[in-house]
């Protein structure tokens, strides 16, 4: 009785395994498939005719493939962007040791805070004559310094974590310009 029950459940299990295997095979990243683009998340990535590379029909980026490891690597970028296909979506692969140390955080803060506070102190110690033509300039200059330095840091963070925001914006622009023409 127990044996019969066991063999029944193992049969069900193997059937589930088969289904699972079939599903995985079906959803594997292979050369004739069509996949969402991991860069613009808008276009479709397919194999280029007579080539071993893949390309996106929206952002037109070119990728090399590794079907054994289920990897897609962008080749027309300075950044080594790689994604892993998990059967449903692309997962971004971060470079090894991509942990940001405290030194970097302190440097980034100093880079933003020090120039701003130098200019801010100057404005505080030597306030412009009120009513003069350029009295708005020192304060605006301090704010601009803060924004410029902060945007440098944000840029670095985006580059570091391989967030393809600029590629996305560029692709959108290209799309809009093709609509215009």
- Give the footprint of Zn ion on this chain (CB under 5 A): 37, 39-40, 43, 56, 58-59
Nearest distance in Å: CB 163, Zn ion = 15
| Contact (CB, 8 A) for 65 and 72 | yes
Question: CB of residue 61 vs Zn ion: minimum separation in angstroms?
Answer: 6
160 contact partners, CB below 8 Å, separation of at least 6? 98, 100
Query: Considering beta carbons, is residue 23 or 166 the nearer one to Zn ion?
Result: 166
For residue 59, the minimal CB distance to Zn ion (Å) is 3
Closest CB to Zn ion among 40 and 112? 40
SS (H, E, C) 41-89: CCCEEEECCCCCCEEECCCCCEEEEECCCCEEEECCCCCCCEEEECCCC
Taking the alpha carbons at both ends of the chain, their separation in whole angstroms is 75
* DSSP reduced 3-state for 90: strand
* Count of positions (residues) in the chain: 181
The secondary structure element, H or E, covering residue 92 is strand 90-92
The CA distance from 85 to 71, in Å, is 6
**Residue nearer to Zn ion on the CB measure, 74 or 119:** 74
Q: How far is CA 69 from CA 57, 65, 72, 78, 85, in A?
A: 24, 9, 9, 22, 9
**CB nearer to Zn ion: pick between 56 and 112:** 56
Considering beta carbons, is residue 58 or 90 the nearer one to Zn ion? Answer: 58
- Least distance from Zn ion to the Cβ atom of residue 44, Å: 8
Q: How far is the CB of 31 from Zn ion (least distance, A)?
A: 18
User: To the nearest whole angstrom, how small is the minimum distance from the Cβ of residue 107 to Zn ion?
Assistant: 34
Q: Which is nearer to Zn ion, 43 or 120 (CB)?
A: 43
């Amino acid at each position: 009785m127990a044996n019969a029950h066991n063999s029944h459940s193992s049969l069900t299990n193997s059937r589930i395994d088969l289904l699972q295997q079939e599903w995985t095979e079906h959803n594997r990243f292979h050369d004739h498939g069509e996949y969402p683009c991991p860069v613009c998340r808008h276009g479709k990535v397919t194999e280029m005719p007579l080539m071993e590379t893949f390309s996106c029909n929206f952002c037109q980026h070119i990728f090399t493939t590794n079907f054994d490891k289920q990897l897609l690597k962008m080749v027309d970028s300075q950044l080594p962007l790689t994604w892993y296909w998990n059967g449903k979506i692309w997962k971004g692969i971060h470079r090894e040791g991509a942990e940001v140390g405290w030194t970097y955080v302190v440097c980034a803060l100093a880079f933003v805070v020090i120039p701003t506070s130098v200019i801010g102190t100057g404005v505080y110690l030597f306030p412009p004559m009120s009513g003069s033509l350029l009295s708005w300039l020192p304060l605006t200059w301090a704010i601009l310094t803060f924004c410029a330095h902060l945007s440098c840091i944000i840029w670095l963070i985006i580059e570091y974590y391989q967030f393809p925001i600029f590629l996305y914006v560029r692709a959108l622009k290209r799309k809009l310009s093709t609509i215009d023409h």
